[in-house]
Amino acid sequence: MYLVENDFMADPSVHLFDGKLYVYPSHDRESGIPENDDGDHFDMNDYHVFSTSDIENEPLTDHGVVLKVSDIAWAGRQLWDCDVACKNGKYYMYYPLKDKTDIFRLGVAISDNPAGPFIAQPDPIRGSYSIDPAVFEDSNGAHYIYFGGLWGGQLQRYRCNKAIECGHEPGDNEPALPSRVAQLKDDMLEFAEEPRGIVILGEDGVPLNAGDHDRRFFEASWMHKHNGKYYFSYSTGNTHKLCYATGDNPYGPFTYRGIILTPVVGWTTHHSIVEFKGKWYLFHHDSVPSGGKTWLRSLKVVEIDYSEDGEIMTIAGGG
Ligand code: FUB
């Protein structure tokens, strides 16, 4: 089911706040920049927020523009996938944006309302890099931020949280580059620790290699908990799948379990998973309404099911 018919929205991060579902997407637009592997054609410059109290029967309410590039002091270009977390009645939006030197950093913007508007902090999060922040609140109230993305997302330019001279991916038989995770400080504005790598193991207990393009992490991290297990889900990028791996704590390691969504129409695939009124939903996007334009994507939602042993039933993306 498509969620927003009159505009292009992608990368939905969805949370339950005050009994309503709030959807925080990227706002795709046509800026005329040609498609390339650096993702320059994803030239988004603002965010909208949407909400609903009945995802199956009520259209989303559009709360309008809540943050834009021109509101952010350190901005260069490209507002990609964002996420929002709540603590003590305040709402914190985490977003990736290229700075004035064309390096992706993660920023934070604050609001008293889940529907915004959000006021940007003057500087990016210290020590942050790459894209696709997703914030998970564990049952004990601790917040963890997951982030990272290859190619245009610049993750290949870093090792051990330091920029390397010539960004490159590891060799096919070397361990894959991992998504990163760090607990957030109490004030929600900084990493409380050095970001750690999220290791994904195969069934044999060995970390996935960089050459395993069908299963290795590429971008679009998401974390949720189901029946006490931690589910780390992500996109495989150039093989266009949404996959998941499970573990016993927010840091992992996680063991690869399977495919949530097979490729959709469009290059990117991105998602969030949330429980609402006793059902579990996958929010994602595809490029069907734009006729396959990879940079003009539309939001979708579908219910997902778990087997008794916690396996997520695969959904066909139609791509
Ligand atoms: O929307 C721009 C980028 O495309 C996102 O950050 C990635 O996850 C991919 O969906």
Q: pLDDT tens, 182-219?
A: 999 999 999 999 999 999 999 999 999 999 999 999 99
| Residue 57 located in a structural domain | yes
pLDDT of residue 186: 98
The residues, ordered by sequence, that sit 6+ positions from 226 with a Cβ below 8 Å of its Cβ are 280, 306, 310
Q: Is 80 in the pocket of ligand 1 (CB under 6 A)?
A: yes
> Percentage of the chain surpassing pLDDT 70?
100
Closest CA to 24 of 70, 80, 69, 73: 80
| Residue 287 located in a structural domain | yes
Position 136 confidence tier, pLDDT thresholds 50, 70, 90:
very high
pTM over 0.95: yes
Torsion of CA 164, 99, 197, 270, to 10 degrees: -130
Catalytically active residues, by annotation? 11, 219
Q: Domain holding 191: CATH number?
A: 2.115.10.20
Residues spanned by the domain of 19:
9-304
Q: Is 221 in the pocket of ligand 1 (CB under 6 A)?
A: no
Position 93 confidence tier, pLDDT thresholds 50, 70, 90:
very high
pLDDT of residue 162: 97
* Measured distance CA(248)–CA(226) in Å, rounded: 11
The residues, ordered by sequence, that sit 6+ positions from 233 with a Cβ below 8 Å of its Cβ are 221, 222, 223, 224, 242, 243, 244, 245, 260, 271, 273
Measured at the alpha carbon of residue 20, what is the angle toward residues 285 and 242, in degrees to the nearest 5? 25
Position 23 confidence tier, pLDDT thresholds 50, 70, 90:
very high
The residues, ordered by sequence, that sit 6+ positions from 162 with a Cβ below 8 Å of its Cβ are none
pLDDT of residue 1: 95
pLDDT of residue 152: 97
3-state SS of 191-239 is ECCCCEECCEECCCCCECECCCCCCCCCEEEEEEEECCEEEEEEECHHH
| Residue 2 located in a structural domain | no
Q: Which atom of ligand 1 has the smallest separation from the CA of 78?
A: 2
| Residue 295 located in a structural domain | yes
| Residue 181 located in a structural domain | yes
| Residue 319 located in a structural domain | no
pLDDT of residue 225: 98
Question: What's the 84 CA to ligand 1 centre distance in angstroms?
Answer: 16
* Measured distance CA(170)–CA(150) in Å, rounded: 11
How many domains in the chain? 1
| Residue 236 located in a structural domain | yes
| Residue 299 located in a structural domain | yes
Question: What's the 285 CA to ligand 1 centre distance in angstroms?
Answer: 10
pLDDT of residue 151: 97
